[in-house]
A and B are shown apart, each in its own frame.
Chain A
Amino acid sequence: MPSIKIVTDSAADIPISLAHELGIEIVPVHIHLGDQVYRAGLDITAEQFYHALQEGRAKVSTSAPPPVAFEQVYRRLASDYDYVFSIHTSSRLSGAYHSAQQARSRLPASATRTEIIDSKLASMGLGLAVIHAARAVRDGAAPDDVAQYINALCQHCHVVFFVDTIDYLEQSGRLSLAASVLGSMQRIKPLMLLDEGEIVPYERTRTRAKAIEGLFTFVEDFPSVKEVVALYATTPEDIDKLLEKVDPIFPRDEVQIMQFGPAIGAHLGPGAMGVAVFEGLE
């Protein structure tokens, strides 16, 4: 049976322990805090990162893993695996996909087939797709089926989020298209989703209470929901408010709770919250 490896980047927000359990290889996004560069999840934890972010002393930015980082990973995996599926953050939001493609073009001819996939998702939207792909691999799916499955997963996993302030998104330039519809009120908590790989605001609110309600409405609007992930940056205490609302349509005990990692948190800022949904297939 051919051996298969699933690769992603740290903007998928998959917890390290789960990645180990499922054998997912994560290529770290680089986090710049002032002059220092950290590899998300390796050199800096979410807690350390948000602490630095909220102190606001150092300028914060991210950069995609360089091609050389992918190249090292792919070369290492080539000796053990027949197939590598490298699934990445939307190419409209991150350079990871392009870095991975460059890395692949530099690989020597080998028997290993490396496929690079633009998920058009981010955070746990991407994370859910990667996790389900890894489970299929663990359960012995054939390479062609895994490839098809990944495509379908990317269509059926969704993520929505709101930010406490649009400053971080604006600074990071990820909101160029979206900003114009937000209006000139300063305190705005827009709900945004990823559409064709781009951040699209779809609802405007001014309070966290309304924004949390908007996350719930997003879940509620799906005809069927197989999996729900509640996401927070710095406010785990607010997760409960979301779970209370979600409970009647999706049992709160089955909602997974995860934190936006530094790669995502740098763009959303403290106070952001979100929901990722897997609709299920068929």
Chain B
Amino acid sequence: MTTSRSQAHCWSGAELLDAFRASARWLEQHVALLNALNVFPVPDGDTGTNMSLTLNGAVHEVAPDASCAVVAERVGYWALMRGRGNSGIILSQVLRGWAQGLAGHGEMGAAEFAAALAHASAAATKAVLKPVEGTMLTVIREASEAAQAAVQPGATLEVALAAAVQRAHETVQRTPSLLPTLREAGVVDAGAQGLLFVLEGMLRFLRGDTLEAPHAAEPSPGGVAFEDVHGPDDFGYCTNFIISGSAMPFNDIRAALAAMGQSVVVGGDGQMIKAHLHLLRPGDALNYAVQWGALSNIEITNMDLQRAELHHTTEAGHDEPDAEVRPIGIVAVLQGAGFAAIAQSLGAGAVIDGGATMNPSTADLLAAIENLPQHEVIVLPNNRNIFMAAEQAAQLSEKKVAVVPSRTAPQGLAALLRFNAQADFDANVNTMTNALHDVVTAEITTAVRDATVDGVVVRADQTIGLLDGVLIVAADSVENVVDMLLDRMDLAEREIITMYYGSAVNRDQAAALARHIETRFADFGDVEVQAGGQSLYQYVLSAE
């Protein structure tokens, strides 16, 4: 990649694929930067992770071909399958549009590139229900216009690409003036910036520039995104489990597991440890782990088979569950072992681990849908940033699939609670969708930086409270934040408060907070306390 390609008038399929790979790498270098471009000061920024996993996941799958049309088609398809998070899904639409623009073209010169961007812009705009200016959509549109303007007789690909990058850069800088929430938060739009990195990566490849970012920061260690750790050299069995015990020697267990396999990620504390590792004999890890506590959520996947399977989905041979098969299956995306257990107890057939900072890909959702024995499936995304991937998966599936647009875990559980195995598909979708309005959700976390959002002044490390996704309050104690949230939850109209405490909180702390609420709202009755096990949010409260 050190030879300059500036003389090139156009790219072959092989060069286009290398260019996409360079984009993927450039994007990956900037994951942390993009994640930090979060309007809310909550620790769930994941735009960089989503876009990078989408593009890197795609180029990893694509086999080379001499034709640009074929390469672009493959990149578009795999980006769709690997797409996760709304920004990742929009990126996948950009890449699908790109492929449409290159249809029938073996090579990509300036004119084809401009056509590809024009189609990319149209496809991305179409994918978004309510297009908003100051986002990826503005960047791709204006970059496309710049590329088009640069297409003159004799113009090289470099000229058009450089024009697109230049304009994309200017547009990104303008996003705060287009979108007030960005202006208030003092950031540029993360998705727009991510798209700039994609185009910039291509240009750097074309010019033979380095693809190492000057200060490539590590992705945030906060969330444990297991998908991140999978590389091309994975072998054996991907093994996941949770150990629940008391006063377990976390560091020792982590060290022991690290010595056993590859791609080891171990998180948690003395009460609960979540482990992921690749090894040839999964039983070794389980035998070791079980001496420390009870094992749950054990998941073992043969990675070689899995790879083959992804190319031929649903070839039967899935073990039918012993339990009586209901006519309608339910897939829920939830983060936290406690939430997952409650959802399963209420009848969810598949729970995908995901949520803030861990958005499942379209392929993850599709696989969960297809693996259920039922032919009708309802998906509960439980996070706005998973809606688009869920809708994509619903469209791709051969089954009858509906997405009930739950924005929070309590909304998803409220919908799931109303699921009625005796009622038909449409009636259930209807009832469950209506149930979303029956619950208000409050989320409590710690601010990662200073910010002013919607008039709320936040200092880093303060406790902050969100009500149905809107930042409401910042204060120095959890109790104060909870009081102010509850004041805004229309308790006169509600009957039940449920508290789901996160993995960073223990049961005694949760019980103490519940007593605080019961004392302050004395005529309300008991607060139901459940272990949610979620990371990032110390507490999730719901009133219904």
**Cβ distance B349 to chain A, nearest Cβ, rounded Å:** 13
A210 within 8 A of B: yes
Asked if A202 and B420 sit within 8 Å, CB to CB, the answer is yes
- Report if A183-B421 is in contact (Cβ < 8 Å); known contacts: A206-B544, A207-B544: no
What CA separation (Å) do A160 and B347 show in the bound complex?
Answer: 22
- Write the B334-358 contact mask toward A (1 if CB under 8 angstroms, else 0): 0000000110011100000000000
What CA separation (Å) do A208 and B422 show in the bound complex?
Answer: 22
**Cβ distance A253 to chain B, nearest Cβ, rounded Å:** 29
Kindly specify which of B140-148, B213-221, B410-418 makes contact with the partner chain.
B410-418
Q: Which of A184, A207, A208, A209 interacts with B342 by CB under 8 Å?
A: A184
Kindly specify which of A29-37, A78-86, A185-193, A259-267 makes contact with the partner chain.
A185-193
Asked if A206 and B420 sit within 8 Å, CB to CB, the answer is no
Q: Which of B342, B418, B494, B528 interacts with A204 by CB under 8 Å?
A: B418
B496 within 8 A of A: yes
CB neighbours (8 Å) of B530 from chain A are: 185-186
Q: Which of B341, B419, B420, B496 interacts with A184 by CB under 8 Å?
A: B341
Asked if A206 and B342 sit within 8 Å, CB to CB, the answer is no
- Write the B390-427 contact mask toward A (1 if CB under 8 angstroms, else 0): 00000000000000000000000110011111100000
CB neighbours (8 Å) of B421 from chain A are: 181
What CA separation (Å) do A279 and B153 show in the bound complex?
Answer: 83
B438 within 8 A of A: yes
- By CB atoms of chain B within 10 A, which of A185, A203, A204 has the most? A185
- Write the A91-105 contact mask toward B (1 if CB under 8 angstroms, else 0): 000000000000000
B498 within 8 A of A: yes
Asked if B347 and A186 sit within 8 Å, CB to CB, the answer is no
- Report if A187-B496 is in contact (Cβ < 8 Å); known contacts: A207-B438, A210-B438: yes
Asked if B418 and A203 sit within 8 Å, CB to CB, the answer is yes
CB neighbours (8 Å) of A209 from chain B are: 495
CB neighbours (8 Å) of A185 from chain B are: 342, 345-346, 413, 417, 498, 528, 530
Within 8 A of A (CB), among B413-455: 413-414, 417-422, 438
CB neighbours (8 Å) of A184 from chain B are: 341-342, 345-346
CB neighbours (8 Å) of A207 from chain B are: 438, 494-496, 544
Within 8 A of B (CB), among A128-171: none
What CA separation (Å) do A202 and B421 show in the bound complex?
Answer: 8
What CA separation (Å) do A80 and B422 show in the bound complex?
Answer: 48
**Cβ distance B427 to chain A, nearest Cβ, rounded Å:** 11
**Cβ distance A182 to chain B, nearest Cβ, rounded Å:** 8
**Cβ distance B253 to chain A, nearest Cβ, rounded Å:** 27
CB neighbours (8 Å) of A188 from chain B are: 417
Within 8 A of A (CB), among B504-544: 528, 530, 544
Q: Which of B342, B347, B418, B498 interacts with A181 by CB under 8 Å?
A: B347
A205 within 8 A of B: yes
Q: Which of A186, A203, A208 interacts with B528 by CB under 8 Å?
A: A186
Asked if B418 and A183 sit within 8 Å, CB to CB, the answer is no
The chain B residue with its CB closest to the CB of A210 is B438
What CA separation (Å) do A184 and B528 show in the bound complex?
Answer: 11
Asked if B438 and A204 sit within 8 Å, CB to CB, the answer is no
What CA separation (Å) do A204 and B418 show in the bound complex?
Answer: 5
Asked if A202 and B422 sit within 8 Å, CB to CB, the answer is yes
Asked if A206 and B496 sit within 8 Å, CB to CB, the answer is yes
What CA separation (Å) do A201 and B345 show in the bound complex?
Answer: 15
The chain B residue with its CB closest to the CB of A208 is B495
Asked if B418 and A205 sit within 8 Å, CB to CB, the answer is yes
- Report if A187-B345 is in contact (Cβ < 8 Å); known contacts: A204-B417, A207-B496, A208-B495: no
- Write the A58-92 contact mask toward B (1 if CB under 8 angstroms, else 0): 00000000000000000000000000000000000
CB neighbours (8 Å) of A183 from chain B are: 342, 345-347, 417
Within 8 A of B (CB), among A205-222: 205-210
**Cβ distance B297 to chain A, nearest Cβ, rounded Å:** 15
Q: Which of B345, B347, B417, B419 interacts with A206 by CB under 8 Å?
A: B417
Within 8 A of B (CB), among A168-183: 181, 183
What CA separation (Å) do A185 and B495 show in the bound complex?
Answer: 15
In the complex, given contacts A206-B495, A207-B494, what are 13 additional A-B residue pairs having Cβ atoms less than 8 angstroms apart? A181-B347, A184-B345, A185-B345, A185-B346, A185-B413, A185-B528, A202-B422, A203-B420, A204-B417, A204-B418, A204-B419, A204-B420, A205-B417
Using a CB–CB distance below 8 Å, which chain A residues touch chain B? 181, 183-188, 202-210
| 15 pairs of residues in contact across A and B, judged by CB atoms under 8 Å | A181-B347, A183-B345, A183-B346, A183-B417, A184-B342, A185-B413, A185-B530, A187-B496, A188-B417, A202-B420, A205-B418, A206-B414, A206-B544, A207-B495, A208-B495
The 8 closest A-B pairs by CB, nearest first: A183-B346, A184-B345, A183-B345, A207-B495, A204-B417, A186-B528, A187-B528, A187-B496
